[in-house]
Structure 1
Amino acid sequence: MNRFLTFFSAATLTASLGLASAGGAGPVGSGLISMPSPYSVSATLDRVAAAAAALDFAVAARINHAQAAQKVGLELRPTEVLLVGNPRGGTALMQCAQTVAIDLPVKFLAYQDAAGQVWLTYTDPAALMSRYNARGCNEAFAKAGGALKTIAMNALK
């Protein structure tokens, strides 16, 4: 539990200080890619959904964490997660390492930091390949990485 709290605190501190750079990674070792968005949290994920649909990804779910917090009397800056998936690409990843399914569908996080900057964040598929020891699957994970980068870049135009 302490390792979780230590990681969570480091991740929260990094995000709140805006240490993730354009096209850069999130907290060290996290495998996250974070990019600043010129749009609101909600608009950012609307644009991600449209960019994902253009690549034949379907929206599986959308979670508004700030709204959920408000329902229980707590405050949270705008924070939303969009889950998108493409069975052709996702299946290829799971055929390489079935346990990667725990990280699918793919999640895009949009949140507003303490300074008011909105960030779009997702997990780099290369980190998943490493995490799940998916050997001999470079092409499938590279293709997934390219698709997610395209979605993110198109959404932030």
Structure 2
Amino acid sequence: MGETMDRLVSAVEGAGATVFARVNHAEGAAGVGMELPGAEVLIFGNPELGTQVMQDDIRAGLLLPLRVLVYDDAGQTVILWQEPEEMLGDLSIDDDAAYIESIGDALDNLTGAAAG
């Protein structure tokens, strides 16, 4: 799982986006004497795209930067993210905004690189 997250970080940085945080949920749980399977979230973004979204609806700031969860499911590594259409669906954003497709394509490409 960690190797997958490492590849995601490399792909994000290689694409010119900014990694804001890598949150290790399992490590946090262990720190309070609890257990979780391996689970990390990468928080990252591209201000060129994210700013466009927030210009159309500032409430998108609650949803951005983007997040991708990589976790262990019974020995299988899973990569999970929310599709931009779903994530932004309750906001005042045009369904046909070009950046929605751009964000979706970026997530597909980055997670594809992480999957190997």
Q: How does 1:76-155 map to 2 (within 5 A)?
A: 76-113=36-73, 115-135=74-94, 137-155=96-114
What is the root-mean-square deviation in Å for CA atoms of aligned residues?
A: 1.3
Cα distance in 2 for partners of 1:128, 1:69 equals 27
Partner of 1:65: 25
Identify if the C-alpha distance between structure 1 residues 93 and 137 changes in structure 2 by more than 3 Å, giving closer, same or farther: farther
Question: Which TM-score applies when normalising by structure 2?
Answer: 0.93
Identify if the C-alpha distance between structure 1 residues 80 and 148 changes in structure 2 by more than 3 Å, giving closer, same or farther: same
Cα distance in 1 for partners of 2:58, 2:96 equals 12
Q: Map Cα deviations across residues 1-59 of structure 1 (whole Å, 9 max, x no partner).
A: xxxxxxxxxxxxxxxxxxxxxxxxxxxxxxxxxxxxxxx2x111111111111211111
Of residues 24, 47, 55 in structure 1, which corresponds to 2:7?
A: 47
Question: Which TM-score applies when normalising by structure 1?
Answer: 0.70
Aligned length: 116
Q: CA deviation at 1:138?
A: 2.2
Q: How does 1:13-52 map to 2 (within 5 A)?
A: 40=1, 42-52=2-12
Identity of aligned residues (%): 33
- Secondary structure of the structure 1 residue equivalent to 2:89: helix
Q: CA deviation at 1:61?
A: 0.5
Q: CA deviation at 1:118?
A: 1.1
Cα distance in 2 for partners of 1:100, 1:137 equals 16
Cα distance in 1 for partners of 2:72, 2:29 equals 15
Q: Which runs of 5+ in 2 are unaligned?
A: none
Q: CA deviation at 1:92?
A: 1.1
Q: CA deviation at 1:126?
A: 1.2
